[in-house]
Structure 1
Amino acid sequence: MCEHPQCRSKATARAPKSPANRTEFYWFCQQHAAQYNKEWNFFEGMSEDAAKAHAAADMYGHRPTWGFASGSSARRAAQNASKDFKDGFVDPFNLFGDGPPPGQERAQREAEDPNAGMGRLQKRALETLNLDPKADKSAIRRRYAELVRQYHPDSNGGDRSMEELLQKVVEAYQILKSCGMG
């Protein structure tokens, strides 16, 4: 039953009894709940400072907060930021447009240094084939075929002394082929 005096309607809505105790409720019918809500002032009885503090705490959900200690690295970053805008932070996603367009960083690095996009195995494989890092697929295939003819026992009169070199050439070509270079 509705807790409003002289009301016999079914209670369907609850309303807190006070701001200090929000776990105890009045049960009202819909009409009296709306009336109670219009008249109820959450900040009633609070000082102005307490009301402002409560409203400010709404910003972070009334959870405990604490200030970050400004260590030496934070001070250094702030000093750098005040000296030069670019030194104050890192822009890995190029949001401020100082670097190359997204997706072209790698192409720019590789244009400056052909070895930049290669792993250790790829570099070693190119060294084994005695090729330049800028070599294209056809140059790699030609060099591979040339070295296989040179080191293969069938083409050098049955001399098996070059068999180890042949294995290294085949392994190097397989490495380059697996990464799309061969």
Structure 2
Amino acid sequence: MVAGVIFLVFPICLALAALTDLFEMTIPNRIPAILLGAFLVVVPFTHLGWSGFGLHLAAAAVVFAGGFALFALNVMGGGDAKLLTAAAVWFGLTKSLLVFLIYVGYAGGVLTVLILLLRARANLVIAMGLPVPHSILTAKKIPYGIAIAVGGLASYAQSPLVMQALESLR
């Protein structure tokens, strides 16, 4: 049961966040809340202990501080900062968090370039009838929730919680 929650909640929440950010340019507050709540429910059933739990909360605090700074500088949206923080708690203050953040950075760079290319050719995209959400072509911001989801899904197998869940299944 615990392994099922670990394997399902994180990927489903990230996928939903990416989709809502793509189509609505917002990430509902309930998605980061579910991510954080599920983590808090699962942790007592893992072998993290208090120090491991503290390292996971420290990871969220560090990422929140960075996300808040980027939000204050108007570089990142509030929903993106909250989603990044809620995802970081699943990785803890470990090497897997760094891998996650690097993947998010690369995915964000590729996403930004692709969206800027689409916007530069918006008339052509519309004329060709390509199924691109209108908000992607007209908004002034980048739906970074997509990059967070790609980075999270690409690196989640390295998360300490997934490693423990896989070990418990053996």
TM-score range, shorter chain: under 0.3
**TM-score, with structure 1 as normaliser:** 0.23
Structure with the larger helix share: 2
**TM-score, with structure 2 as normaliser:** 0.24
Instruction: Look at both structures and tell me which one has the larger radius of gyration over its CA atoms.
Output: 1
Bigger relative contact order, structure 1 or 2 (CA pairs below 8 A, ≥6 apart): 2
